[in-house]
Amino acid sequence: MKVKKDAKKILDEFSKALENIPKLDETYYIVDNTNRTRPDVVSKTKNPTKLLKNAKTNEKGEIIVERGKWVK
């Protein structure tokens, strides 16, 4: 019984809170961009500095990478 009373109280409070929300018309957008993809473009210039900018290096400038777990 207590659960029913609590549920009723919560629903009543929620209903009162909803009364303060103004009624608005639905807003919807029709967009025809489903499954839109970009065209594949092959870059003619290769700039490794962009790729290596965040790579960890040692004092000699060699790239430090994690050793593969399959390597013994």
Rounded Cα distance, 57 and 65, in Å? 9
Residue 69 falls inside a structural domain: no
pLDDT of the residue at 8: 93
Residue 58 falls inside a structural domain: no
Residue 39 falls inside a structural domain: no
Residues spanned by the domain of 13: 1-31
pLDDT of the residue at 9: 93
Digit-coded pLDDT (tens) for 18-44? 888 888 777 777 777 666 777 888 877
Rounded Cα distance, 4 and 67, in Å? 61
- Count of structural domains, the chain: 1
Rounded Cα distance, 14 and 2, in Å? 18
Residue 14 falls inside a structural domain: yes
pLDDT of the residue at 27: 75
pLDDT of the residue at 34: 67
Rounded Cα distance, 63 and 48, in Å? 13
Digit-coded pLDDT (tens) for 53-62? 888 889 998 9
pTM of model > 0.75: no
